[in-house]
Amino acid sequence: MNKLLQEIVFWIHLPIVAAWFGLFIVPTSIWPGRVTFHFWYIVILLIVQFLWSAIVFKKKDIICPLTTWLQWLRGYDLTDEKNFSHSFIAELFKRLKVKISFKAVNYLLLGTLILATILYIVNLS
């Protein structure tokens, strides 16, 4: 039963991450408010992760609450490094036999935040 719950929590990440990246390809002609929604979607997700990290782990980092739950279900203690150095995206790619580092994922997320911010600012003018 625990393995099933681990898989469920793992896959709950997918629609969240798919929206993070997928919204970039939705034309504003189809959804005029997409740029604003997408910007705030990314910002709110990052704020939640930052607050989770600050409150639960007393760290200045970005740690996903779902990842913490997943790692706990896998038997890792909250203070284990696996809670701070794990990425759903990196694990998903590993399952797909594509190697991507945790650091590369962080750069990718930072890049999308920057891109969403630029699009949001341009959209305001």
In this predicted model, what pLDDT tens digit does every residue of 6-20 receive, in sequence order?
999 999 999 999 999
First to last CA, the chain: 52
Q: How wide is the angle at C-alpha 94 spanned by C-alphas 107 and 56, nearest 5°? A: 60
- pTM listed for this prediction: 0.91
In this predicted model, what pLDDT tens digit does every residue of 27-84 receive, in sequence order?
999 999 999 999 999 999 999 999 999 999 898 888 999 999 999 999 999 888 887 7
Computed over its alpha carbons, how large is the radius of gyration of the chain? 16
Using CA atoms, how far apart are residues 15 and 29, in angstroms rounded to an integer? Answer: 23
Using CA atoms, how far apart are residues 12 and 86, in angstroms rounded to an integer? Answer: 16
Using CA atoms, how far apart are residues 45 and 105, in angstroms rounded to an integer? Answer: 15
